[in-house]
Structure 1
């Protein structure tokens, strides 16, 4: 068992365990939002399938409208109209125009469009107060070309990408199965919300914070309830967790007499590492139990969420073969001081303004203050042995689950 790893060493060890490929399932478009593509997706069509208009107006020949102005309007004869989906069947000749509406194919013979705002209709004629221009004509294939790949294996199906898949002509999509992630809470003091809270008890917030984090990362959470601080009960629940891709435990991994999760995994599994040089979340544990990866998260609410975000989320991204990184990094100016820690990389909770590129502390940085993860939207990263003064540039990881 390795111990006292750096953050980078711990992440490398966790990602090494994200092996194998998830099964693929095929879903109709309406069920594919938020899933991850399991194959490259090429367009089945050209879009637009011919030159069309990007505006409402009149399609005509540009040479017939040269010099048109409010003082010297040009008069054209309107020979028809072309709403979207109903192309004009004829041809535009000299001195003629066709009323066109956004998305309509450009009629044969026309090479320019004048905006309806620059015209006035007078019966079967139209007055143009500006020259027609080809700039509002969208050429064939301007958006999509048949056979070209626009979405890649590993892409998350966002609203825009789901719409793009539909525009390409795909009614069903192949996606990766969601990784199943078990969530087990430990501790005699843990009580389910809604039950009476005994003296010294604490409500099981970790299970629900982790449930949200797993969903947000693309996994399928499996709530396994909570077990008391008894080795036999912990082992029974761990071994009976069912088919999972990752098991999360919260609590029971520190150095106390009642931190039984670590002891059970040392006896009955393989502990890959225990303890990381970071704050919060130092007692993090990673193990295997019968081939199942187990991420032992600390029991403090902030530590539990931060360590999942830094290690569990990348694990799921790798399983899903996501094309984007699990989290981003940027630089921001500190509006408040941030305190570091001796020999440890520190992740302080902050409120980030992306527009102003500034970040301030959420206040109390205790790992038991869950409010900081509800209203803070970023982690301020401090290297070991280093504080950050007000006005200093600091590294920031935005928390994607906070608006």
Structure 2
């Protein structure tokens, strides 16, 4: 078992455990939002499927409109109209025009458009107050070309990508099955919200914070409830967890007499590392119980959320073969000081905003037990080991993608 490792070493070991490939399932387009594509997606059609108009106006021949101006308008006879979905069937000849509406095909014989605001209608004629041009004609395949790949295996199906898949002509999509993530809370003091809170008790906030984090990262959370601080109870619940891709335990991984999760995993499984040189979340543990990867998160609410965001989220992204990274670092100017720690990389909670430049300020109390900081903050401020960040300095920040 490795212990006291760096953040980068811990992340590398976690990613090594995201092995194998998730099964693929096919779902209707209406159920695909938030899923991850399991294959490259080619367009089944050209879009638009012919030259069409980007504006409301009149289709005509450019050569008929040269020199048109408000002082010297060009007069064309309107021979029909072409709404979207009901294209004009005839041909535009010399001195003729067809009224067209956004998205309608360009009639045969026309090679230019004039916007309706640059015209004046007079019965069966239209007066052009400017020359027509081809600039508002969208050529066939301008957006999509049949047979070309526009979405990749591993792409998260966002609203825009879902719409793109529909525009490409796909009614169903192959996606990876959501990773099943067990969430197990430990601690005699932990009770469920709604139950009477005993003296010294605490409500089970970690299970629901982690549930939200797992969902946001693309997983399927499986709440396994709470077990007492007894080795036999912990082992029984772990063995009954069922088929999972990852097990999260909350609490029981530190150095106390009642931190039994670590002891059970040491005796019945294989602990790959314990303790990371970071704050909060130093007692993080990675283990295997049979073939099941187990991420033992600290019990303090902030520590639990921060460690999942940094490591559990990365695990799920790797398992889902996501094309984008699990998080991105930015640079911002600190409007408040941020304290570091000897020998540890520190993740302070901050509020990131744009005020002429990206700036970040502290959420206030940075104790790992102050869950408010994860609700009020929208970024982690990264303070390198053995350093402090003074007001006005530029610092690395990691936006918390689950915050609105």
Smaller-chain TM-score range? over 0.9
**1:392 maps to what in 2?**
393
SS in 2 for 1:134: coil
Q: State the Cα distance separating 1:85 from its structure 2 match.
A: 1.2
**2:364 maps to what in 1?**
363
**1:274 maps to what in 2?**
274
TM-score (norm 2): 0.99
Structure 2 matches for 1:107-122, cutoff 5 A? Answer: 107-122=107-122
TM-score (norm 1): 0.99
1:222-260: CA deviation from partner (whole Å, max 9, x where unpaired): 000000101110010011100000000000000011111
Structure 2 matches for 1:259-270, cutoff 5 A? Answer: 259-270=259-270
Asked if 1:378 is matched to 2:353, the reply is no
Structure 2 matches for 1:24-103, cutoff 5 A? Answer: 24-103=24-103
Structure 2 matches for 1:297-376, cutoff 5 A? Answer: 297-354=297-354, 356-376=357-377
**1:401 maps to what in 2?**
402
Deviates more, 1:386-395 or 1:67-76: 67-76
**1:238 maps to what in 2?**
238
Provide the alpha-carbon RMSD of the alignment. Answer: 0.7
Q: Distance in 1 between matches of 2:270 and 2:303?
A: 23
Q: Distance in 2 between matches of 1:15 and 1:348?
A: 24
Q: State the Cα distance separating 1:354 from its structure 2 match.
A: 4.3
Q: Distance in 2 between matches of 1:170 and 1:14?
A: 36
Q: State the Cα distance separating 1:349 from its structure 2 match.
A: 0.4
1:79-108: CA deviation from partner (whole Å, max 9, x where unpaired): 000001111111111111000001101011
SS in 2 for 1:294: strand
Q: Distance in 1 between matches of 2:65 and 2:350?
A: 59
**2:202 maps to what in 1?**
202
SS in 2 for 1:135: coil
Q: State the Cα distance separating 1:120 from its structure 2 match.
A: 1.4
Asked if 1:125 is matched to 2:125, the reply is yes
Asked if 1:142 is matched to 2:142, the reply is yes
Q: State the Cα distance separating 1:212 from its structure 2 match.
A: 0.1
Q: Distance in 2 between matches of 1:308 and 1:256?
A: 22
Unaligned 5+ residue runs, structure 1? none
SS in 2 for 1:388: coil
Unaligned 5+ residue runs, structure 2? none
Q: Distance in 2 between matches of 1:103 and 1:317?
A: 39
SS in 1 for 2:352: strand
